[in-house]
Amino acid sequence: MYKFNYVHSQNYEGSEKKFREMLLRESERVRPIIREYFLKEYILGMGDTYETFKLYCKTFDVDEMLDTRMIIIKPTGARDFEDFFFIKNTAEQYIGEENILLSTTINNFLVIITTILDRTELTDLLDKTRRAVKQCYNYGVMAVYGKVAYLSDTPAAYERLKECMGYSFYSDSDKTLYENDLKIGESSTALRPDYGTVEHAVKSGDRDKVKAQLDSFFDELEGAMPTPAVAKTYCLELYVCIIRCCEVEKIDAYMKGIMYLQDAKAIGEIRSFIEEKGLEITDSNTPEKHRIYSTLIRDTIKLIDENIRNENLSLRWLAGNILYTNVDYLGKLFKKETGKNFSHYVMEKRMEMAKEIILEGKHDRIYEVAEKVGYGSNSQYFSQVFKKYTGVSPLEYKEFARLMRENKKSEN
């Protein structure tokens, strides 16, 4: 009996020792997980945050007044947890796990709290992280780090850096930013964009002036750095002013660009898009004498001017009887270089010519005006086209011209 009890006692003591060793091993294994959980809950303000933080400091023997810096890293192109894991490991290797109090993912950001306070050192480590991620995984990385703050202030630091990350709108996707370098919260009321000057330049077809005005607008906007939402509002107002200058039949296509601007993630995307569309519309408004056309299209335009009064003027007539070229080829080339269909181009020419004749004040009847601008005896069709083009009938336009002349006489 004694022997049995002795053996049982020995086995029990051995099992208890193994159990204690197992608990210690497991506690060490889960310790980092618990540590991350406590601090993450505190940052996000979940539960009783004050008690959570106190328990964290006591459990892990951390000074709540410890000086730290927070880092937020946002990868572009990362798709799943595995991608974040690779980026997280890279950052930890460069910064050093001994310098990290927290390294976790929150809302598609990698959030790190470090005890490295020197700006130059931290910037260098983050730049190395970005380059390594780009080289190894081909992801762009935006990193923003905050000013020195007590560990107890990490919830406020997180909110500030989230706002800073929104200002990546003004940067490319592969950059390291410092919180104090961003003009968070500064007023942008001093911005007074001169939309009218841009609109006038687009209407007049002045490509160089449009380019200069757009450069000035975006340089001023990027210098002021209003919130991304406010910046987009300015850009949308500018875009609407520009597309008002395009041909009526193209307005619906250009209006679709508004959705693109609203969804854009960076000012660079918006700038390129508005410049492209702005110069495209400007070119369509460029006076013909300043445009550079191929020899064939220059000859075509010259023949249009010479035959504008001829009611038989048509693309097929010019191609077959004068230019001796393929009508389909000529039509496509004409549209490509002038931005207008041949028939639409001729119609505009004739309508502008009709307006000039009416404004001259000579006593031409409407059927006479129609004949002079190439509509032959079909004055009714001429009147329909004129009203569609100007918004008023030829008779109404004639009366308007008469009133203008009378007012001018009375002023003199």
CB neighbour class for 170 (10 Å; exposed up to 12, middle 13-18, buried from 19) = buried
Question: What is the average pLDDT across 378-405?
Answer: 87
Answer whether 271's CB lies under 8 Å from 231's CB: no
pLDDT for 4? 46
Average pLDDT over residues 164-191: 69
According to DSSP, residue 321 is labeled I
Tens digits of residue pLDDT in 291-301? 667 889 989 99
Measured CA to CA, the distance from residue 105 to residue 193 in angstroms comes to 40
Predicted confidence at residue 188, as pLDDT, reads: 47
Q: Is residue 259 scored above 80 in pLDDT?
A: yes
60-76 pLDDT, tens per residue? 888 999 999 999 988 87
Tokens 């980026």 belong to 87
151 and 101 Cβ atoms separated by less than 8 Å: yes
* pLDDT surpassing 60 at residue 411: no
Report pTM: 0.51
Closest to 79 (Cα-Cα) out of 24, 150, 137: 137
- Bridge partners, 231 (sequence order): none
**In angstroms, rounded to a whole number, what is the distance separating the alpha carbons of residues 127 and 137?**
15
Is pLDDT of 187 > 80?
no
**pLDDT the model gives residue 60:** 84
369-406 core/surface letters (b: 16 or more CB in 10 A; e: else): bbbebbbeeebeebbebbeebbeeebeebbeebeeeee
Phi/psi-derived region of residue 96, left when phi > 0, alpha when psi is between -120 and 50, beta in every other case: left
Say which residue, 289 or 309, is predicted with more confidence. 309
Higher pLDDT: 109 or 116? It is 116
Mean pLDDT of the chain: 83
- Among 91-100, 164-173, 230-239, the minimum mean pLDDT is found in 164-173
Residue 289's pLDDT is 56
> Please, which pLDDT band fits residue 151 given cuts at 50, 70 and 90?
very high
Question: Mean pLDDT lowest for which of 41-55, 89-103, 336-350?
Answer: 41-55
- For residues 317-338, average pLDDT: 91
pLDDT of residue 8: 46
CB 396 within 8 A of CB 384: no
3-class secondary structure, 231: helix
Per-state percent for the chain, helix, strand, coil, to nearest 5: 70, 10, 25
Dihedrals φ, ψ of 357, to 5°? -65, -45
Neighbour-count burial of 171, counting CB atoms closer than 10 A to its CB (0-12 exposed, 13-18 middle, 19+ buried):
middle
Split at pLDDT 50, 70, 90, the class of 307 is very high
Higher pLDDT among residues 308 and 361, named by residue:
308
Q: Which two tokens stand for residue 260?
A: 């693109």
Neighbours of 70 (CB within 10 A): 26
What pLDDT does residue 68 have? 95
Question: pLDDT value at position 304?
Answer: 93
